Structure 1
Amino acid sequence: MPPKQDTLPKNWPPILPYLRAPSYSKSLTPTYLSALRTKPQDIPVIPTNTPRGPCQLVRITPITSPSHPTNGQSGLFATRDLKPATFILQYIGEIHATPSNSDPDPHAESNYDLSLDREHGIGIDADKRGNEARFINDYRGVAERPNAEFREVWDERRKERGMGVWVLPEGKSGKGRGIRRGEEILVSYGRGFWGARREGEV
């Protein structure tokens, strides 16, 4: 059953399915699922007290500043002060495999597709369904540097790999300052993301 309207995050798009757990593409064969459910060494674990459903640490907020690159869309903002290296929330969407043959990749044009396992070609796409993490914007044009990062995580309750959003730890470009209440959560999408977008514009 779809989530009740009153249990959705504030400002969640009504036409978009909200996920509390990943969905799985039919492209995930047993080989892919085995890779997904094999725990790598030295991988951070999602805190077991992390609630399923809307995250109380963040708020989806419409962007109304003309100077913001995503003006007219939305961003994700902190609802309280977040210390360096804090786990914020999991990036949830459809876990899928990238076609290894000449079949077209239905996720190739998505702006919400994160690579989870490059070796096996596994990704997480939140284009058509997901959670609040899909609203995280790139720092370029907004701030001097990102204040958060995507990092692979292990979901102990589901016994599988995933992608998490973390406040940058001390010693990285965030310089250990954390994220203040009301501040936009910003990551770096990476050069590959922007390079592919520039190629598409040619």
Structure 2
Amino acid sequence: MPAPLVGPSSGRGKPSHTPPPNWPKKVPYLPHPVPHAALPKQLITRYCTPAPPPAVHAGPLTKITKIIDPAHPAYGQYGLFAVKKIPPKTWILDYTGVVHDQFGTDLTSNYDLCLELLPVALEADLSGYWDVAVDAAKSGNAARFINDFRGVPGKSKPNVEFQSRKIEVSTQRGKVEVVRIGVWSGKDGVPKGEELLLSYGRAFWKARRREEEETVDES
């Protein structure tokens, strides 16, 4: 169900343009998605229009923290941790980055996430899909620091998940439907101090192993 209409002048839940602590200096911070230079104009409104969040939190829920456990697969890198208890099924933040279609895909990116497969009519008797995704490899928000649960000591399953949400927003040109991918806590919530962990999916890890094997073969 779409979120309630919020006018463009409303400040409710307006994302901050200030990067959170520990944000990398060389990575542009994006409070909301921005379009790839080649993204068709008719898709920009649907995926890049600023939209209100489904909830407004009293203070930040998470922080970017360097991982110091040598047994962690991302040791020496960063993760996203809960600064307070996050209840079950709670929206935490959206995943932002550069929105692109299948023609703007960076095949080397590990931060590319499908936004929507948009049905399109190719010809009178043919149909297909427009593959729209958001890539946080070179710019984004704190969601880009969420690691996969696999291999993390003491963790056997993810505690957060991606969910698509559609928001009806009122603009100067009328009402528009905006699409976002949000990060939501799982059925058990996230305890204070715990790392937020996703499941990247088997396809991601199959592709990663294939890349590693190709690198070894070339060396």
TM-score higher than 0.5: yes
Q: What does the per-residue CA deviation read over 1:119-150, in whole Å, with 9 as the maximum and x for residues that have no partner?
A: 32111000111000000000001111000001
Among all aligned residue pairs of Structure 1 and Structure 2, give the percentage whose two residues are the same amino acid: 42
Corresponding residue for residue 172 of structure 1? none
Paired AA for residue 27 in structure 2: L
Paired AA for residue 145 in structure 1: K
Conservation of the 8 A alpha-carbon contact between 1:23 and 1:93: yes
Structure 2 spans left out of the alignment, 5+ residues: 1-15, 118-128, 170-175, 214-219
Corresponding residue for residue 117 of structure 1? 116
Change (3 A) 1:12 1:34: closer
Length, aligned pairs only: 176
Structure 1 spans left out of the alignment, 5+ residues: 38-44, 100-104, 170-176
Corresponding residue for residue 191 of structure 1? 202
Instruction: Please give the alpha-carbon distance, in whole angstroms, between the structure 1 residues aligned to 2:168 and 2:70.
Output: 42
Instruction: Tell me how far 1:201 sits from its aligned partner.
Output: 1.8
Structure with the higher strand share, 1 or 2? 2
Q: 1:164 aligns with which of 182, 185, 195?
A: 182
Paired AA for residue 24 in structure 2: P
Conservation of the 8 A alpha-carbon contact between 1:46 and 1:153: no
Instruction: Tell me how far 1:108 sits from its aligned partner.
Output: 1.1
Corresponding residue for residue 95 of structure 2? 91
Conservation of the 8 A alpha-carbon contact between 1:35 and 1:120: no
> 3-state DSSP class of the match of 1:194?
helix
> 3-state DSSP class of the match of 1:88?
strand
> 3-state DSSP class of the match of 2:84?
coil
| Alignment TM-score, normalising by the size of structure 2 | 0.73
Paired AA for residue 196 in structure 1: A
Runs of 4+ aligned structure 1 residues displaced above 3 Å come to 30-37, 48-51, 155-159
> 3-state DSSP class of the match of 1:181?
coil
Change (3 A) 1:97 1:50: farther
1:57 corresponds to 2:61: yes
Conservation of the 8 A alpha-carbon contact between 1:46 and 1:154: no
Corresponding residue for residue 28 of structure 2? 17
